């Protein structure tokens, strides 16, 4: 017996994935070619070039991990950390916590800088942490904490980290292609992101980039990276253009889709795309506040593309309301995580989901229900 499966047409306004452009979906449906086919190799070179341009980096070691954002996180940490290393990890939500968990599994001693959810890590906290641990191998922060909607300033912290001769590792999964992110200008040494947030490609791929300083650390490792699949000494040959050697089989269709999604970013222009996220956010914020929603994060550190909001007091059952939005209006919004479960919504306006039409649809549906 064969099963039929026809996914409904949803409007994705949660923490990811976001809606995909028809051109991206069409690219996914292209005929398969071999991953060592010269056409595929040429396309991968173009993907690398566009990832460098969207990260605003010249880093040669720039590539895409064949796995989701969490694997990009693990790639950065597992390649830079060795057993016995010390590192500083800033935690103000779910994803900082995940980084600490991975770093511990790499055998590193983790100094955690804890900040209440919804707030950002301050320069003073980094100074204090560097007093307690003056020579960490790396300092890691989440640029856009998707569990809370907080946007972490990085430039001043980067100076402190480099003055301590340490590497700056950044999670840019939800900031990439949505808000300003300048890898070289900000001195980021290792960065990872995901395909399914502001880039609006299908989930399952993770662009990553390492600075020359990070590459040096990688090359001077005393021990082998404990993960074979994520070991960059092996992976990098897979992204070496014509010299490409078999490492694993790339998810060919997903890379087609990412290539087209990157093309769309290049056509729009990175800065226009950042601007669009802020403009649509301003409109969404005005409409939500008029309905009685209020923001969790202070205006100064508010992420435009992931809106964390408390619900109006009149709404007693937020989960039932989200179910109604999904079932009756095909609109997906995210619920809260951790301490905020049942208390907040996380409304994503990312990439293709960042349009006035999406906002009008959501606000119209809410008005009708309420
Ligand atoms: C979504 C997300 C991740 C994890 O990405 P996956 O593709 O779900 O593995 C990591 N960090 C942040 C900030 C995220 O928003």
DSSP structure string for 237-270: GGGSGGG---SS---HHHHHHHHHHHHHHHHH-H
What are the start-end ranges of the H helices in 193-347? 212-219, 232-235, 252-268, 270-290, 318-329
Q: According to the model, what pLDDT value does residue 363 have?
A: 98
Read off the pLDDT of each residue in 244-270 and give the average, rounded to a whole number: 96
pLDDT attached to residue 239 = 85
Query: How confident is the model at residue 91, as a pLDDT?
Result: 98
Question: What is the pLDDT averaged over residues 239-262?
Answer: 92
* Gap from CA of 13 to ligand 1 centroid (Å): 15
Per-residue pLDDT at 84: 97
Residue closest via CA to ligand 1's atom 15 equals 146
In this prediction, what percent of the chain has a pLDDT beyond 70? Answer: 100
In this structure, which residue's CA is closest to atom 14 in ligand 1?
Answer: 173
Is 40's pLDDT higher than 90? yes
Residue 173 in contact with ligand 1 by CB distance below 6 A = yes
The protein residue with its alpha carbon nearest to ligand 1, atom 8, reads: 69
Q: Which atom of ligand 1 is nearest to the CA of 206?
A: 7
Mean pLDDT of 326-347: 96
- Kindly give the distance from the C-alpha atom of residue 194 to the centroid of ligand 1, in angstroms, as a whole number: 7
CA distance 120 to 141: 10
Nearest residue by C-alpha to atom 12 in ligand 1: 173
- What is the average per-residue pLDDT within 206-219? 97
CB of 85 shorter than 6 A to ligand 1? no
Specify the residue for token string 């969404």. Answer: 284
Between 360 and 370, residue with greater pLDDT: 360
Q: Would the CB of 97 count as within 6 Å of ligand 1?
A: no
Distance 95 CA to ligand 1 centre (A): 7
The span from the CA of 366 to the CA of 368, in Å, is: 5
For residue 243, the model assigns a pLDDT of 82
**Residue found under tokens 């020359």:** 212
Ligand 1: atom nearest CA of 196 is 7
**How confident is residue 244, by pLDDT bands cut at 50, 70 and 90?**
confident
Dihedral of alpha carbons 170, 175, 177, 181, sign: negative
Write out the two tokens for 97.
Answer: 């916590």
Ligand 1: residue of 16, 64, 69, 172 to mutate (most ligand atoms within 8 A of CB) is 69
- 138-176 residues labelled b (16+ CB within 10 A) or e (exposed): bbbbbbbbbbbbbbbbbeebbebbeebebbbbbbbbbbb
- Asked whether residue 237 carries a pLDDT value surpassing 90, the answer given is no
Question: Reduced to 3 states, what is the DSSP secondary structure of residue 221?
Answer: coil
Q: Which of 70, 169, 337 to mutate to test the pocket of ligand 1 (most atoms within 8 A of CB)?
A: 70
pLDDT of res. 240: 81
Please tell me the distance between residue 334's alpha carbon and the centre of ligand 1 in angstroms: 14
Nearest CA to ligand 1 atom 5: 69
CB 114 within 8 A of CB 132: no
Return the pLDDT at 140. 98
> How many Å apart are CA 229 and CA 347, to the nearest integer?
34
Taking 80 as the threshold, does the pLDDT of residue 215 lie above it?
yes
What's the whole-number average pLDDT of the chain? 97
Any atom of ligand 1 within 6 Å of the Cβ of 70:
yes
The answer on pLDDT for 208 being more than 90 is: yes
CA of 192 to the centre of ligand 1 (A): 10
User: What tens digit of pLDDT does each residue of 161-207 get?
Assistant: 999 999 999 999 999 999 999 999 999 999 999 999 999 999 999 99
pLDDT band of residue 297 (cuts 50, 70, 90) is very high
Q: State if residue 178 touches ligand 1 by the CB under 6 angstroms criterion.
A: no
Please say if the pLDDT value at position 118 is more than 80.
yes
């Amino acid at each position: 017996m064969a099963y039929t499966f026809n996914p409904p047409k949803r409007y994705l306004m949660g923490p990811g994935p976001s809606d995909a452009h028809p051109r991206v979906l069409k690219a996914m449906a292209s005929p398969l070619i071999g991953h060592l086919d010269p056409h595929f190799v040429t396309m991968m070179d173009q993907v690398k070039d566009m990832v460098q341009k969207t990260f605003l980096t010249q880093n040669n070691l720039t590539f895409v991990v064949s796995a989701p954002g969490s694997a990009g996180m693990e790639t950065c940490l597992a390649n830079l950390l060795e057993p016995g290393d010390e590192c500083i990890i800033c935690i103000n939500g779910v994803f900082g916590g995940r980084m600490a968990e991975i770093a511990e599994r790499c055998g590193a001693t983790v100094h955690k800088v804890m900040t209440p959810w919804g707030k950002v890590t301050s320069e003073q906290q980094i100074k204090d942490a560097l007093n307690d641990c003056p020579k960490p191998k790396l300092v890691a922060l989440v640029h856009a904490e998707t569990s809370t909607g907080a946007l972490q300033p990085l430039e001043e912290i980067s100076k402190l980290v480099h003055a301590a001769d340490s590497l700056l590792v950044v999670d840019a999964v939800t900031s990439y292609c949505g808000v300003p992110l300048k890898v070289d200008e900000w001195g980021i040494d290792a960065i990872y992101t995901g395909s399914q947030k502001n880039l609006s490609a299908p989930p399952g791929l993770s662009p990553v980039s390492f600075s020359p300083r990070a590459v040096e650390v990688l090359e001077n490792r005393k021990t082998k990276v404990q993960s074979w699949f994520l070991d960059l000494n092996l992976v990098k040959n897979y992204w070496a253009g014509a010299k490409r050697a078999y490492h694993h089989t790339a998810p060919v269709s997903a890379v087609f889709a990412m290539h087209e999604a990157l093309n769309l970013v290049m056509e729009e222009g990175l800065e226009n795309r950042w601007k669009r996220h802020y403009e649509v956010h301003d409109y969404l914020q005005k409409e939500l506040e008029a309905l009685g929603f209020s923001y969790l994060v202070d205006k100064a550190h508010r992420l435009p593309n992931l809106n964390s909001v408390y619900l109006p007091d009149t709404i007693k059952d937020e989960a039932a309301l989200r179910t109604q939005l999904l079932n009756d209006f095909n609109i997906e919004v995210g619920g809260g995580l951790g301490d905020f479960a049942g208390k907040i919504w996380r409304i994503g306006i990312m990439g293709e989901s960042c349009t006035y039409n999406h906002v009008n649809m959501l606000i119209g549906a809410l008005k009708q229900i309420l």
